[in-house]
Amino acid sequence: MLVFDNADNKPNFKTLVHDLSLTGLSVQYHSEVKAHTILTLLLSLPPLALAGIPRKLIKLKAEVTSSIPFRGGFRLGMSFIQDAELDTLRQRLEMYIVSEDNLYSDPEADEFPKLNL
């Protein structure tokens, strides 16, 4: 979920994460966002069933680095701002086993609203 500063007068927006790395991510949004805009991201990480670790919601700060037209909307590239929550994300990402052959599927996330553009 994207959370804008109250001064922006924009509502919170549930979105789709296209790419996620240790330094940033890209998401889909319905309109252009200016570069250097600081947003709060509420990111829901899938559970780690084998390790008995439940789903976790983390709150990250990120700076918009790009906003390019994409499928009738915009794809926002964002760079994370270093804080304790980013350390939590990095620790959690290291726990996932991701290969080119088999990506984790999260049935609960499949139920999230879709962005119809």
Does the residue 113 lie in any domain?
A: no
Which pLDDT band holds residue 99 (cuts at 50, 70, 90)?
Answer: low
Which of these, 10, 97, 87, lies nearest to 51 by C-alpha position? Answer: 97
| Alpha-carbon gap, residue 68 to 91, rounded angstroms | 30
Q: What is the pLDDT of residues 16-62, one digit of tens each?
A: 888 888 889 999 998 898 999 999 999 888 777 766 778 888 999 99
Q: Is the pLDDT higher at 76 or at 105?
A: 76
Q: Which long-range contacts (CB under 8 A, 24 or more apart) does 53-57 make?
A: 53/95, 55/108, 56/88, 56/92
Q: What is the pLDDT of residues 53-79, one digit of tens each?
A: 788 889 999 999 999 998 888 999 999
Domain CATH code at residue 23: 2.40.10
Does the residue 112 lie in any domain?
A: no
Does the residue 88 lie in any domain?
A: yes
Does the residue 50 lie in any domain?
A: yes
Determine the pLDDT at residue 117. 44
Does the residue 115 lie in any domain?
A: no
Does the residue 79 lie in any domain?
A: yes
Does the residue 103 lie in any domain?
A: no
Residue 108 has pLDDT above 90, yes or no: no
What is the model's pTM?
Answer: 0.70
Residue 111 has pLDDT above 70, yes or no: no
Does the residue 37 lie in any domain?
A: yes
Domain count, the chain: 1
Determine the pLDDT at residue 53. 77
Name the pairing type of β-strands 24-29 and 17-20: antiparallel
Structural domain boundaries enclosing 77: 2-95
